[in-house]
Structures are given as structure tokens and as C-alpha cells.
Amino acid sequence: MSILQRISGPSDLKGLTAAELRELAQEIRDYLVTSVSKTGGHLGPNLGVVEISLAMHRVFDSPRDSFIFDTGHQSYVHKLLTGRKDFSNLRQKNGIAGYPQRSESEHDIVESSHASSSLSWADGIAKAYRITGQDDRYVVALIGDGALTGGMAWEALNNISDDNDRKLVIVVNDNGRSYAPTIGGFARNLNNIRTEQTYRKLYRLSKSFFYRFGLPGRMLWSAIRGAGKGIFGSVTPKSMFPNLDLKYIGPIDGHDLQQVEQALQQARKYAHPVIVHMITQKGKGYDPAVFNDADQFHAVGQINPETGESLEVSSSSWTSVYGDELVRIAQSNHRVVAITGAMLNPVGLGKFAETFPNRVFDVGIAEQHAVTSAAGMAFGGLHPVVSVYSTFMNRAFDQVLMDVALHKEGVTFVLDRAGVTGPDGASHHGVWDLAVFQVVPNIRIAAPRDAVRLRELLNEAIEVDDAPTMIRFGKGNVDQNFVAVKRMEDGLDVLRDAPAKDVLIVAVGAMAGVALQAAELLAAQGIGATVVDPRWVVPVAESVVQLAAQHRLVVTIEDGVRVGGIGTRIRQALRAAEVDTALNELGLPDEFLEHASRNEILERVGLTAQAIARDIVAQVLGAKVPYARQLTDESKTLEI
Ligand SMILES: Cc1ncc(C[n+]2csc(CCOP(=O)(O)OP(=O)(O)O)c2C)c(N)n1
């Protein structure tokens, strides 16, 4: 039986010898590589925190002490040590989640997985423990150098440093990277600390040479001393946040378990807020990750565990279509610049950065700042394109509303991973953007149905210089192209024209395929369905209203929450135009959707062609809709 198999909870770690712990660390790494290479997941970050996670569980007493994992993508080792050892269905329906999840374990507290919030959680929990007299409980937050670039983390640090009377330990996992190397002055400061640590090691070594080897040793010692003074001078950092008056321990080699434990023991004794600075390597122990310059296997799909090679068939993704088109546009439009929040490659800006290195800005995990900075760039004469995952855009609602829209700045927002995304679960589905951002006055929102429309709409969006424009598309491979039978003057595409004007199906973006399939099923039942794609879903196209007036039922289908979605918006437009055609808005329910594949989720919520067609038939047959034509007897009995 392996040591890992014998660990069913943190208390099993306490009696292990140093050699057993080393063996356990290796077993954990082997297990992570073997299992994540089958399921996909966050491999690099977890390989980097094996020793830190072991030490946290040996020095502190979870769940009595509260562990907060910033973002939570690096909580796999913690899961393994707290009784969750079956990773065979990681991130799949009914399998364990890719982030901490309260329903899985009392050891998990924060499951939001949007970065940079851990210190605010820790601040709040520690305040609560003090005020409720639970003074013996520690709060331990593990946060990466990437997450530390987020504004929320700095706001929390400001508060934490102001209120010294609580047991709060901030463990900084400094691997120098977010996906790509972490950016900014803060990252440079960390780099200085790291370099200084190396210098100190060399300095100590050369000093021993000085005593042992006479003149050559003396020459080496003085050379290193001189170089150190030259590099660091008087600016050698004394702490990670020199002006915040926060106790600092480090830097510590985050892979030396003994050192890590000693540092945490010291922090524990201190019993006030303290930062423990660990230096680690993302992907530690797995060469394919360590030597992968792009992202050190931050997140992988299925891979060959021996070589790290991807086993997934690559075909054209929404992201790459967007990335290529933006480069093409920027070649002739010199005002176009691109902004990313620490996700250059995941949002498809890699090629743009290679082609126009001076026109791309990685602002760190700082979506709010990205948006307002873009407003400033637009004011200054540029056309910024801000590329963000749909779910992270939620962070910057106020900035889109007040800084961009109120000031009539021409900024284009490109929302990747919109709609149901699948394995990353509740926090990562991009299902709120349509409902949230359509309330912004003068915003224009586009949802391309395929690659051709994505290119087209991106070009149209970048032409708008006096208002925010937003384009949203999904995860993964782009669907086939759906050619329109005609385009209306206001830009709406008719994808299917039925002679009998029974149902008008308005498909939002990638739901076009499902809408067309549903229309086919309806046609087989003798029900005529027109399918349209407005392309720009906000504001509502005039032709949607006109077509609605010609049909007996309108059905809208969107890959976003139904509450306050595009369907609701169209309903309001119909009412304003006094069109009384019944409308059924289909979309996602008002709930947090757990991890499962996109198809499994769409099936569960009834967003498949069969379910939609069945629903329409039921409405028509149930006479909920005034129905003029007589349905054939055959169609009344047919099952879909
Ligand atoms: C608000 C927000 N923006 C972007 C992301 C996407 N994201 C997930 S992890 C990550 C990098 C985190 O870097 P770091 O905190 O240093 O952790 P590491 O992976 O290096 O261990 C990013 C940008 C996110 N989770 N939340």
C-alpha cells in the first residue's frame, strides 16, 4: 500500500518521517500526472504546491483552522490530503470538482474561483473569529504572485495591515507566473527578492571559499560582493510590501519541506497577520511542464503523460478565429490595441503580441483596471479591444457602465468562453454577460453564430468609436458555417424561411445550429418555423419585431440566463411596438450550474433541438398560442 493510500485525512500526515514525507510528495506528483493527463485539469499549479500543501496540513489544523485557496485551481493536493482520492472523474459530471467545493468537504471554504479574493475572505473570517471569541482559530490564505496583481488583494492587504490583532497567515506561492510570467512593478519586486536570495546563497558559499582557498577564494568573494552591491545597492527589498508594516518571513524554498514547515511554524507562533513568502516552480517534478514556456501546463486537456503532448484533435476554435482576425484588422487599422488580464494565450492574443509587441498590454489579473485603462486609451485616440473570459468580465460592470459608456468611449470587449463552458463548473460558465451588460446604455452586443460572422462582427464592432461594443462566443471549436438565405437591411440574417409563418425562432449566437435542427423537427410535424439570427442582439433589430408580428409564436434561444436575457429584451421591444405575438424565452435557469460537459448541461436544462421542438409542439397543440391553421391528425400524435 502506498503512503498516499494510507492518508485519509490531515491527521495521518502528522506521524510521518522526513523520508516518508519525501516519498509521499513523489507519489502525489506521480498520481497528479497520471490522472490529470487522462481528465485534463490544472496540472502545473498543483505540481508546484505539493510541499506547501503538505506543510499547511501538518502545521495547522484544518478544518478548525480555515484554509483559503486563492482562485482554487491549486487545491488538488489539498483534496488528496483531505480524503478525496478518486480523481478518475475530475471535473466531470458527478466527479470531484476542479476547485474547492463546500458540498465535497468541510475542508473547503471558498469556491468562487475568481482570482484575488482570498485575502478579503481571510480578512473577514479572521475578524469574525476574533469578535466571536474563537481566538484559537487560524486563517491561512494561499495566494499566487499572479493573483496578487489583482486590486482586491491590495485592498485587503491594506485592511489586514491595519488590524494586527488576529491569526492570519498569508502564504505567497511565488512561481513568477500567472499563465505567462507575472507582470508589473510588484512582479519586479518579487524578482528582486528572488535574485537577492540567490545572491545571498552565493555570497555565503564564496565566503567559505575565502577562508578555505586563499587568494582565488578571496577574489571570488569580493567579485560576488561587488556584483551584489551593484545589483541591489540601497534598494534591496526588506519585505514584500515594505510600506505596509506587515510581518514578513522569507523567501523560503517552497520545495524544501523542512524549511516550509519551519516557516509556517514561525508564522503560527507569531499569531498576528504575517506573510510567508515561498518560492516555487510551476510544474515541479514534471519536465514537460517545467520546460513549457507558454504556460508551464497551467491547464491541460488530455495529454500523453510521458511526453506531455496533447492528445486532443485540434481544429479551428472560436479563440483562434478571433485572434487571427484581430491581427488582420490591426495591420490596416493602426489605432487598434489589445488588452488582456494575464491571459494572453488563452484569449487568443499570442499572435497579436508577436506581430505587434508594442500594441498589446497585459495588465495582470485586473479586469476593472483593464476596462478603465481602455477608456483612457480610447480617449487618447486608440481603439482598444479588451479580451476577457465572459465570467471574469462580471468584475468590471461598473467600469463598462461609468467609464466607457457614460463617456461614450469606443472600446470593444471580446468575451471568450461565453455560455455553458462545462468542466470548470459554477464559477466559470459565461452565462451572465448578456443579462448583465445589456443594461448599459448605448452598448451594442453581438453574438456570432460561426467563424464567418465572428470575423464580420469584429470588424463592425471596431468601427464603432462612440460607445462600447461587445462580442461573445463560446469555448472550444467553432461550429460549421450557417449560410443565411437572406440578410435584412438592419443586419439580421434569415437562416430558414418557412412558407407557413407559425413560429419565429430567434437564435442567439451558437444556438443557431440547435434552432435549425428544431425547425427541421417542427417541419416534420407540419409546423412552419422561420429561423433568424439577429447577429447584433442588443439593441433589438427592428426586423425581429416586424417578423414577430407575422408569426403566431416567437421562441428565443440563448446560451445565457433567461432572467433578464435577450428573450426578455425582445419581449419588451414587442410590447413597445404593440405586437402581441406570444413569446417563449428559452435559456439557462436562474441557478449555479455544476461541472459536467456542455452537452450534458444543455440536455438537463432542455436546450436541445428535441426538447425545444417538443416544447413548441406542446404550446401549439395545447392551444396556448392562437393557432390559425389546422394541424394534421398525424402531427398531433407524432413524437419528437
Ligand atoms: C478574476 C479572474 N481573472 C482571471 C482568472 C484566470 N486565471 C486563473 S488562474 C490565473 C493565474 C493565477 O496565477 P497565480 O495566482 O500566480 O497562480 P499559479 O497558477 O501561478 O499558481 C488566471 C489569470 C481568474 N481565475 N479570475
Minimal-distance CA residue to ligand 1 atom 13 = 178
Q: Ligand 1: does its nearest atom lie under 6 Å from the Cβ of 584?
A: no
- Across the range 178-203, mean pLDDT stands at 83
Minimal-distance CA residue to ligand 1 atom 16 = 146
CA 237 to chain centre: 32
Ligand 1 atom closest to residue 280's alpha carbon, by position in its atom list: 21
Minimal-distance CA residue to ligand 1 atom 10 = 178
Minimal-distance CA residue to ligand 1 atom 19 = 45
**Strand 486-487 relative to strand 493-496, pairing:** antiparallel
Q: Ligand 1: does its nearest atom lie under 6 Å from the Cβ of 115?
A: yes
3-state SS assignment for residue 627: coil
pLDDT grade for 313, boundaries at 50, 70 and 90: confident
User: Which residues on adjacent β-strands are paired with residue 586?
Assistant: 557
Ligand 1 center–CA 70 separation, angstroms: 8
Least Cα distance to 471 among 414, 393, 409 occurs for 414
State residue 229's pLDDT score: 56
Q: What is the CA radius of gyration of the chain?
A: 28
Ligand 1 center–CA 178 separation, angstroms: 6
Can you tell me the distance from the alpha carbon of 257 to that of 22, in angstroms, rounded to the nearest whole number?
8
Residue to mutate, 52, 71, 77, 292, ligand 1, most ligand atoms under 8 Å from C-beta: 71
Q: Ligand 1: does its nearest atom lie under 6 Å from the Cβ of 175?
A: yes
**Helix (H) / strand (E) containing 496:** strand 493-496
Ligand 1 center–CA 46 separation, angstroms: 13
Residue 430, classified by CB atoms within 10 Å of its CB into exposed (0-12), middle (13-18) or buried (19+), is: buried
CB-CB neighbours of 27 under 10 Å? 17
Q: Which segment of 93-107, 231-245, 533-547, 606-620 scores lowest on mean pLDDT?
A: 231-245
Q: Ligand 1: does its nearest atom lie under 6 Å from the Cβ of 69?
A: no
Indicate if the pLDDT at residue 41 is higher than 90: yes
Q: Ligand 1: does its nearest atom lie under 6 Å from the Cβ of 179?
A: yes
Query: At what angle are helices 566-576 and 542-550 packed, to 10 degrees?
Result: 70
Ligand 1 atom closest to residue 45's alpha carbon, by position in its atom list: 21
Residue 214, classified by CB atoms within 10 Å of its CB into exposed (0-12), middle (13-18) or buried (19+), is: exposed
- Across the range 73-97, mean pLDDT stands at 97
Sign of the dihedral defined by the CA atoms of residues 108, 111, 114, 119, in that order:
negative
State residue 360's pLDDT score: 98
Query: At what angle are helices 214-232 and 184-212 packed, to 10 degrees?
Result: 160
Residue position matching grid coordinates 424565452: 585
Model confidence pLDDT, tens digit, residues 213-247: 676 666 666 666 666 555 544 444 457 888 888 99
Minimal-distance CA residue to ligand 1 atom 11 = 178
Ligand 1 atom closest to residue 173's alpha carbon, by position in its atom list: 21
Half-sphere exposure of 108 (CA within 13 A, CB side): 27
Q: Which segment of 92-101, 185-194, 537-546 scores lowest on mean pLDDT?
A: 185-194
Q: Ligand 1: does its nearest atom lie under 6 Å from the Cβ of 42?
A: no
Ligand 1 center–CA 7 separation, angstroms: 29
Residue to mutate, 178, 255, 429, ligand 1, most ligand atoms under 8 Å from C-beta: 178
Q: Ligand 1: does its nearest atom lie under 6 Å from the Cβ of 340?
A: no
State residue 292's pLDDT score: 92
Model confidence pLDDT, tens digit, residues 252-301: 999 999 999 999 999 999 989 999 999 999 999 999 999 998 899 999 99
Percent of the chain with pLDDT over 90: 84
State residue 192's pLDDT score: 87
Q: Ligand 1: does its nearest atom lie under 6 Å from the Cβ of 370?
A: no
Residue to mutate, 295, 365, 428, ligand 1, most ligand atoms under 8 Å from C-beta: 365
State residue 220's pLDDT score: 66
Residue type, 17: T
- Omega of the bond prior to 100 within 30 degrees of 0, cis? no
119: which residues sit within 8 A by CB, 6+ positions away?
A: 70, 141, 143, 152, 153, 156, 157, 160, 170
Q: Cell numbers for 86, please give them.
A: 478518486
Q: Ligand 1: does its nearest atom lie under 6 Å from the Cβ of 341?
A: yes
Ligand 1 center–CA 220 separation, angstroms: 41
**Helix (H) / strand (E) containing 276:** strand 274-279
Residue 202, classified by CB atoms within 10 Å of its CB into exposed (0-12), middle (13-18) or buried (19+), is: middle
Q: Are 34 and 90 in contact (CB under 8 A)?
A: no
Model confidence pLDDT, tens digit, residues 491-524: 999 999 999 999 999 999 999 999 999 999 999 9
Least Cα distance to 414 among 512, 491, 501, 322 occurs for 322
Residue 392, classified by CB atoms within 10 Å of its CB into exposed (0-12), middle (13-18) or buried (19+), is: buried
Q: Cell numbers for 501, please give them.
A: 409563418
52: which residues sit within 8 A by CB, 6+ positions away?
A: 142, 171, 173, 254, 260, 278, 280
Can you tell me the distance from the alpha carbon of 21 to that of 315, in angstroms, rounded to the nearest whole number?
43
Q: Which segment of 330-334, 391-395, 615-619 scores lowest on mean pLDDT?
A: 615-619
Q: Ligand 1: does its nearest atom lie under 6 Å from the Cβ of 76?
A: no
Ligand 1 center–CA 584 separation, angstroms: 39
Least Cα distance to 450 among 430, 472, 480 occurs for 480
Give CA separation, 311 vs 251, 308, 552, 616, in Å.
38, 9, 49, 40
Q: Ligand 1: does its nearest atom lie under 6 Å from the Cβ of 325?
A: no
Ligand 1 center–CA 447 separation, angstroms: 26
635: which residues sit within 8 A by CB, 6+ positions away?
A: 525, 526, 527, 617
Ligand 1 center–CA 187 separation, angstroms: 14
- Omega of the bond prior to 468 within 30 degrees of 0, cis? no
State residue 638's pLDDT score: 46
**Helix (H) / strand (E) containing 486:** strand 486-487
Can you tell me the distance from the alpha carbon of 383 to that of 380, in angstroms, rounded to the nearest whole number?
9
Can you tell me the distance from the alpha carbon of 555 to that of 531, in angstroms, rounded to the nearest whole number?
10
- Across the range 175-183, mean pLDDT stands at 93
Ligand 1 atom closest to residue 70's alpha carbon, by position in its atom list: 15
Return the active site residues.
Answer: 282, 367, 395
Q: Ligand 1: does its nearest atom lie under 6 Å from the Cβ of 190?
A: no
Ligand 1 atom closest to residue 150's alpha carbon, by position in its atom list: 1
Q: Ligand 1: does its nearest atom lie under 6 Å from the Cβ of 10?
A: no
Residue position matching grid coordinates 487545491: 75
User: Which residues on adjacent β-strands are paired with residue 584?
Assistant: 555
Sign of the dihedral defined by the CA atoms of residues 401, 405, 407, 410, in that order:
positive
Ligand 1 center–CA 482 separation, angstroms: 35
3-state SS assignment for residue 140: strand
Q: DSSP labels for 427-474?
A: TT-B-SHHHHHTTSTT-EEE--SSHHHHHHHHHHHHT--SS-EEEE--
3-state SS assignment for residue 536: strand
Q: Cell numbers for 228, please give them.
A: 551584489
Q: Ligand 1: does its nearest atom lie under 6 Å from the Cβ of 178?
A: yes
CA 141 to chain centre: 20
Q: DSSP labels for 54-116?
A: HHHHHHS-TTTSEEEESSSTT-HHHHHHTT----TTTTSTTS--SS--TTT-TT-------TT
Half-sphere exposure of 230 (CA within 13 A, CB side): 6
Ligand 1 center–CA 479 separation, angstroms: 28
Ligand 1 center–CA 19 separation, angstroms: 33
Q: Ligand 1: does its nearest atom lie under 6 Å from the Cβ of 147?
A: yes
Q: Ligand 1: does its nearest atom lie under 6 Å from the Cβ of 145?
A: yes
